[in-house]
Amino acid sequence: MKQVDLHIRSGEWITLVGRNGSGKSTLAKVIAGGRVDGLSGNVKRADPKSRLVPIVMQQPEAAMVGATPWEDVVLMLEQNEAEEQDIAALAEQALQAVGLGDRLHQPISTLSGGQKQLVAIAGCLAVYSPLLVLDEATSMLDPEAAAFVLEQARAIHGNGTTVIWITQKLDELDEGDRIISMQDGRIAFDGSASNWYRREDGHEGESICERLGFDAPYTVQLAWEMEKLGLSLDPFPIVPAMLAKAVSGYGS
């Protein structure tokens, strides 16, 4: 990474995008407090005593040590020196929060990929991590499981948790997201999702998304086609619900 200067506000949802090798996973590791050989700089936190932030990876089972979801979260709590009398309740509460309350003692080996991701997320919640970092957590999942994991992460964010969501799937963006795009180890874009897709003067290929080589979701492509017909859509729609609202209110 080179000359990266970034400020993260409490309670933000940041979608971090970039091609393989762009530096997004390295940036996430630095934000989480990890050390990366060859990099220098400073990471300042509101709470300087906060611990290393856990990262939910593509294959969370590689970091799982418990035989069941409950046991895995309990072990993470013990490693983080939680009060012994609180551990059992905290583990159950965290698993309930991600929708695994009925699978507390189910063998990890029998869980789906999406459920294993939720166990990893529950561990982060249980230790009261100030930040939830998910590094392409849906890349190995089928569409239904991916949608459910994203939905749970959005719900957690809705309760006030700061989230960094790393992905190459632009259809996972939502209204209000802060988008950070990495390219060649640098931040190539830092702004709103609408500005990420907005074309200068309506010219094809002129959005930041296109300039950086990404393929926009169908909703965005349809909105671009509407702009070619002279329909000005504001705010620029990035998800189907926004497009429907923009079209229904056009000219009113």
Give the whole-angstrom CA distance, residue 144 versus residue 164: 21
Helix 69-79 crosses helix 87-97 at what angle (to 10 degrees)?
130
pLDDT in tens, 177-204: 999 999 999 999 999 988 999 887 767 8
Task: Give the separation between CA 65 and CA 69, rounded to whole angstroms.
Answer: 10
Tokens of 156: 């957690």
CA-based nearest residue to 117, from 75, 181, 165: 165
Closest CA to 6 of 176, 217, 14: 14
| Domains with residue ranges and CATH for the chain | 13-182 (3.40.50.300), 198-248 (no CATH)
Q: 210 with 200: CB under 8 angstroms?
A: no
pLDDT tens-digit series, residues 82-121: 899 999 999 999 999 899 999 999 999 999 989 999 999 9
> For the chain, how long is the longest CA-to-CA vector?
65
Place of tokens 């509407």: 226
The amino acid sitting at 62 is A
The residue written with tokens 């990929």 in the block is 113
Q: Is residue 101 a contact partner of residue 92, using CB atoms and an 8 Å limit?
A: yes
Q: The whole model's pTM is what? A: 0.86
Identify the residue with better confidence: 192 or 227: 192
Summarize pLDDT for 22-61 with one digit per residue, the tens. 999 888 888 887 888 878 877 787 776 666 688 888 887 7
